[in-house]
Amino acid sequence: MSEHQDQPFDPNLPVRVDDAGPATGPNAGPAIPQRGRGRRRLSASMIIGASLVVLVFALALLSFIWTPYDPSVIDPAARLQSSSLDHPLGTDRFGRDTLTWIMYGARITLLVGIVAVGIALLVGTPIGIIAALFAQYPWGMWIGAVIMRANDILLAFPALLLAIIFAAVFQPGTGPAMVAVGIAAIPGFARVARSGTMQVLSSEYVRAARASNRSTPAIAVVHVLPNIAGMVIVQASVAFAISVLAEAGLSFLGLGTQPPVPSWGRMLQESQQFLSTHPELALWPGLCIALAVLGFNLLGDGLRDRFDPKMEARGDG
């Protein structure tokens, strides 16, 4: 049995670990650049990314304490206003304040991201680690292979397909949407965790640990987890960006967040009929989605540089 038979995404290939990531993967990392200049540039992307992410979190948290208006109050007299002192981002067709809705929408965006990524991370990472741990023993190879094959089958059910079916089974809504996105992201985490674990297991200090008869679970906890944590966090950041986009797309299809819950994707969808008369209704949620995705992607890039396995290996050596 060659390595490549059961793992076409082997990290030994020029495909980098992160490239084996999930389907839509806007997760191409900048390759390791030369230290001096590269560091500076990458930390710039990290700063921008982190600021955008913090901004989204701040909006969402602030909405729990204060918003300019009550999001559910309808005011026919104030409908479809442009920006003004009263309504900095204008109002929608129900006369609701757009800024308030943007702030509340940040909550759903984060909720979807956190739950989806949470599911994928908590299920995918252990699966990947277990597959890698089994694969090192001749008797366990087939278990590792079966796990990864099951993972491949899961990969054949993309997020949208799952979401369409889930929406039919459980009613369209935020819940089924985020679970579907989460399940679809499991294979990405499993692969990252698996290839990361395999790298760790082949490193010298683990060989040393094993020589001193440490048990496999102990090795997993002591050596594997801390060493792959970085890669998993990178994957999480990227998956977060994907789930923000997915929520928007699903809401556009009417399969995501349902009214009257404020969501950016839904706002964008509802703004369509006002594109020629009130384009700002599409502008604000569109901008928010784009900035949030950009933020999480840039943050992922920045983190990847920090946690890059090759850099780390160099450090260990």
Partner 1 sequence: MPVYLLSRAAQFAVALFVASVVIFAMMSFLPGNAAQVALGTNATPEAVAALEARYGLDEPPLTRYLQWVGGMLGGDFGTSYVTGAPITPVIMNSVQVTAILVVCSIVLAVVIAVPLGTFAALEQRNWIGMTISALSQVGIAVPNFLAAIILVMIFSLGLGWFPSQGWMAPIEGVGGFLARLVLPVVSLALVQAAILTRYVRSAVLDVMREDYIRTARAKGLTRTRALFVHGLRNAAIPVITVAGVQLATLLVGAVIIEQVFVIPGIGSELVRAVANRDLVTVQGIVMVLVMLVLVINLIVDLLYPIVDPRIRSAA
Partner 2 sequence: MKTPRTTIWVAAAAAAALFLSACTAGASDPKGTQKDSMAIAFTAEPVNLDFTSTSGVAIPEALMDNVYESLVRVDGEGTIQPSLAKEWDISEDRRTYTFRLQEGVKFSNGADFTAEDVKFSYDRVAKDWKNPLKSKMDLVENVKVVDDHTVEITLQRPSNMWLYNLTTLVGAIFDTEGTADLANEAIGTGPFAIEKFTRGQSIDYVARDDYWGDAPAVKKVQFKYFKDAVAASNALQSGEIDIISNLQAPELAGDFQSEEYQIISGTTNGEVVLSMNNAEGIFKDKAAREAVMHGIDRKAVLDTAWAGYGELIGSMVPPTDPYYEDLSGVWPYDPEKAKEKVREAGIEGEEFAFTVPNLPYAQAISQVVSAQLEEIGLKAKVETQEFPAVWLDKTFTKHDYDMSVINHAEPRDILTVFSKDYYTGYDDSTIKPIAEKADRGTEAEYIAGMKTIARTITEDAAANFLFLFPNLVVAKSDIEGIPVNRVSDSFRIADLSWN
Is residue 16 near partner 1 by the rule CB under 8 A? yes
192 and 235 in contact (C-beta within 8 Å)? Answer: yes
CA-closest candidate to residue 281, choices 109, 112, 99, 107:
99
In the set 156, 211, 259, 317, which binds partner 1 (CB under 8 A)?
156
Backbone dihedral angles phi then psi of residue 91, each to the nearest 5 degrees: -130, 165
In the bound state with partner 2, the residue whose beta carbon lies nearer, of 48 and 282, is 282
- Which entry of partner 1, partner 2, none binds 221, CB below 5 to 8 A by partner kind? none
Query: Which residue in the block uniquely carries the two structure tokens 């640990």?
Result: 209
Smallest gap, in angstroms, from Cβ of residue 282 to partner 1?
8
Which parts of 138-279 fold into alpha helices (H)? 141-155, 159-170, 174-201, 204-211, 216-219, 225-253, 264-270
Q: What residues from 249 to 268 belong to the interface with partner 2 (CB under 8 A)?
A: 254, 258-260
Stretch that binds partner 2, among 1-9, 58-66, 167-175, 198-206 (CB under 8 A): 167-175
Is residue 31 near partner 1 by the rule CB under 8 A? yes
Percentages helix, strand, coil for the chain (3-state, rounded to 5) are 70, 0, 25
CB neighbours of 210 closer than 8 A, spacing ≥ 6?
Answer: 219
**Integer distance in angstroms from the first to the last C-alpha of the chain?**
30
- Which entry of partner 2, partner 1, none binds 24, CB below 5 to 8 A by partner kind? partner 1
Interacting residues with partner 2 (CB under 8 A): 72-74, 76, 79, 93-95, 167-168, 171-173, 254, 258-260, 272-277
Interacting residues with partner 1 (CB under 8 A): 2-5, 8-9, 13-16, 19-20, 23-26, 28-31, 33, 37, 41, 149-150, 152-153, 155-158, 160-161, 164-165, 167-169, 241, 245, 248-249, 252-253, 268, 272, 275-276, 282, 286, 289-291, 293-294, 297-298
